[in-house]
């Protein structure tokens, strides 16, 4: 386990702005169907100077997930965002109803959780406090 005597606030880090995941070129409609359609995170317009790169962004008040096109795309199998949800059971059923495979895992202290893969094979964790 990595530990340090320096606290994050002492270093000037105050939060997390967004998570960037990679995706293959030309699959933006799959990203929109999953991240906005299934997960319910609204798609937002990328800044004009970044549109030519492809990909898409999904954001609401507390969650920002940006997908960027990677020419030699390989999904993130170990690295992943962990998304907090209000109702883990409802999210599980929503995902299953969209034919997304759920991978159950042992709970973390104070949390229940599971994993899924996005349409590109990137690992996503969903968890809720218990």
Angle at 19 between CA 77 and CA 53, to 5 degrees: 95
Q: What is the pTM of this model?
A: 0.88
Mean pLDDT of the chain: 93
User: What is the residue extent of each domain of the chain?
Assistant: 18-129
Q: Would you identify the CATH topology of the domain 18-129?
A: 2,3-Dihydroxybiphenyl 1,2-Dioxygenase; domain 1 (3.10.180)
Q: What is the pLDDT along the chain (130 residues), one digit of tens a residue?
A: 566 565 655 678 888 999 999 999 999 999 999 999 999 999 999 999 999 999 999 999 999 999 999 999 999 999 999 999 999 999 999 999 999 999 999 989 999 999 999 999 999 999 999 9
- The encoded tokens of residue 71 equal 């020419």
Distance CA 75, CA 79 (A): 9
SS3 69: strand
CA trace torsion 76, 31, 23, 101 (10° rounding): 30
Burial of 30 from C-beta contacts in 10 A (0-12 / 13-18 / 19+): middle
Q: What is the pLDDT of residue 1?
A: 59
Distance CA 57, CA 59 (A): 7
Distance CA 80, CA 89 (A): 20
What kind and span of H or E run contains 44?
strand 43-44
Q: What is the pLDDT of residue 7?
A: 64
Distance CA 56, CA 10 (A): 33
């Amino acid at each position: 386990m990595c530990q340090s005597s320096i606290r994050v606030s002492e270093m000037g880090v105050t939060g997390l702005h967004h998570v960037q995941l990679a995706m293959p070129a030309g699959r933006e409609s799959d990203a929109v169907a999953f991240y906005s359609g299934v997960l319910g995170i609204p798609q937002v317009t990328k800044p004009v100077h970044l549109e030519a790169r492809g990909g898409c962004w999904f954001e609401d008040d507390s969650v920002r997930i940006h997908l960027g096109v990677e020419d030699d795309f390989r999904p993130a199998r170990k690295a992943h965002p962990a998304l907090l949800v209000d109702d883990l059971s409802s999210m599980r059923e929503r995902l299953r109803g969209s034919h997304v495979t759920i991978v159950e895992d042992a709970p973390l202290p104070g949390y229940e959780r599971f994993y899924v893969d996005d349409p590109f094979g990137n690992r996503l964790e969903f968890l809720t406090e218990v």
